Amino acid sequence: MNGSEPVLPRAHGDAVLTARMRSAPEDFFVEELPGFEPSGSGEHLLLTIEKRGMNTAFAARHLAQWAGVGEMAIGYAGLKDRHAVTRQRFSVHLPKKIAPDLSTLDIDGDSERLRLVEHAWHAKKLPRGALAGNRFVLVLRGVEGERDAIEARLRAIDERGVPNYFGEQRFGRDGDNVANARAMFAGRRVRREQRTLLLSAARSELFNRVLARRVEMGCWDRPLDGEVWMLDGSRSVFGPQSFDEVLAQRLDAFDIHPTGPLWGRGELRTTDAAFECESSALSDDEAIALRAGLEAEGLKQERRALRLRPVGLAWNWQAEDVLEVAFSLPPGAYATVVMSELGEVRAVGRSG
């Protein structure tokens, strides 16, 4: 398995449907869930923007030109795709607290649109990661499969969650980020901004390998001896700790999750069966090369939850072969991973 392969082992069984996703930008709606309330004063104009047919970088450049400031004055919490309708926050640093004419901000083109939803003043620049999560409304078209089986799978996802894989977006448009990471580790020079991307891809590849192994073993949402746990909604980890009734109750309540490694320097924190699983999943030559490269770059061992539970999962049939699915995910989770548990969902529009 490598990052270029589109299908990782499914936790809930064989595919129950085939469908198209992103047939139009409106079929992939994403709304950032804000991580804080505006302070109401300060030098940063906090803008909630809804856009169609443009990615975050394009919108940020437009805001900088509109405000007459450099691009470094623009802040945003996360990156959003072009082939979608997305709603997200931006901040614009305006030290003199004189906002440009808000009525001139909107773009209303045939394919590219941008409109202001709301605005407020805030004390600080919007930093990366300053969001509580994302809310998705996805429309699947050309759905083929038995409706009863599809709805049973959705109920299973709602009850148990899904494996928290890194999505295919992490691995590049052609799935070649991992190969480029190997070349970088072997000495190829890359730009500084590309280096960060390739390091993330290499780490994600190793994590996905461990998680795929545990899906195959049937323990992606169950403990192994020597497990390290993560608190839901945080990056706080504890353990290894013997599994007991208290941990069992917390696991069933989605208060804690088993974890896998985000590779870097240092020893694996797991012990016993969990350690053996992670070690064996990452023991081939390619994995060893990626591990060595990440360690040489100075990254440190971290952990990521193996389990992901969509919040507020709901669905409705808009037509016989058109299914709308809505849910929220925490930062760093992928809607495409949720969809892959249903079956072969092909993205018509390309992200970017």
Number of domains into which the chain is organized:
2
Q: Is residue 60 part of a domain?
A: yes
Are 201 and 119 within one domain? no
In a domain, 30, yes or no: no
Of 212-221, 233-242, 307-316, which gets the smallest average pLDDT?
233-242
pLDDT band at 350 (very low <50, low <70, confident <90, very high): low
List the one residue out of 238, 309, 290 whose CA is nearest residue 281.
290
| Residue-number span of the structural domain to which 57 is assigned | 36-129
Same domain? For 110 and 225 the reply is no
Whether 125 and 170 map to the same domain: the answer is: no
Has residue 253 got a pLDDT over 90? yes
Residue-averaged pLDDT of the chain: 93
| Residue 345 falls inside a structural domain | no
Where would I find the beta strands (DSSP E) of 145-285?
162-163, 229-231, 237-238, 256-262
As a whole number of angstroms, the distance between CA 349 and CA 266 comes to 41
User: Do residues 188 and 123 share a domain?
Assistant: no
Domain shared by 183 and 295, yes or no: yes
Residue 282 in domain: yes
262 vs 2 pLDDT, higher one: 262
Residues 104 and 200 in one domain: no
Residues 184 and 277 in one domain: yes
Question: Is residue 238 located within the same domain as residue 296?
Answer: yes
Identify whether the C-beta of residue 94 lies closer than 8 Å to the C-beta of residue 75. Answer: no
Q: Give pLDDT, residue 348.
A: 85
Does residue 270 lie within any of the structural domains? Answer: yes
**176 plus 303 within the same structural domain:** yes
Q: How far is CA 273 from CA 10, 20, 226, 231, 317, in A?
A: 22, 40, 6, 21, 43
| pLDDT given at position 349 | 63
Residue 349 located in a structural domain: no
In the structure, what pLDDT confidence band is assigned to residue 172 with cuts at 50, 70 and 90? confident
Q: What is the pLDDT of residues 68-93, one digit of tens each?
A: 999 999 999 998 988 999 999 999 99
In a domain, 191, yes or no: yes
* CA gap 76, 91 in Å, rounded: 6
Higher pLDDT, 13 or 350: 13
AA letter at 242: S
Neighbours of 68 (CB within 10 A): 10
Establish how many alpha carbons lie within 13 A of residue 135's alpha carbon, considering only the half-sphere containing its beta carbon.
Answer: 9
Nearest to 67 by CA among 88, 50, 81, 46: 46
Last residue of a domain, one of 81, 109, 129: 129
pLDDT value for 311 = 97
Supply φ then ψ for residue 343, to 5 degrees. 160, -150
The pLDDT of residue 1: 40
Domain containing 111 — which CATH number? 3.30.2350.20
Across the range 289-295, mean pLDDT stands at 97
pLDDT beyond 50 at 6: no
pTM: 0.91
Do residues 107 and 170 share a domain? Answer: no
Residue 352 has pLDDT above 50, yes or no: no
79 domain-assigned: yes
Give the strand pairing for 343-347 and 17-21: parallel
201: domain CATH number?
3.30.2340.10
Confidence of residue 99 (pLDDT cuts 50, 70, 90): confident
- The reply to whether 116 and 185 lie within a common domain is no
Mention every residue, 6+ apart, whose C-beta is less than 8 A from residue 55: 79, 80, 81, 82, 352
The label of the residue with tokens 């085939």 reads 18
Point out the residues that are catalytic.
81
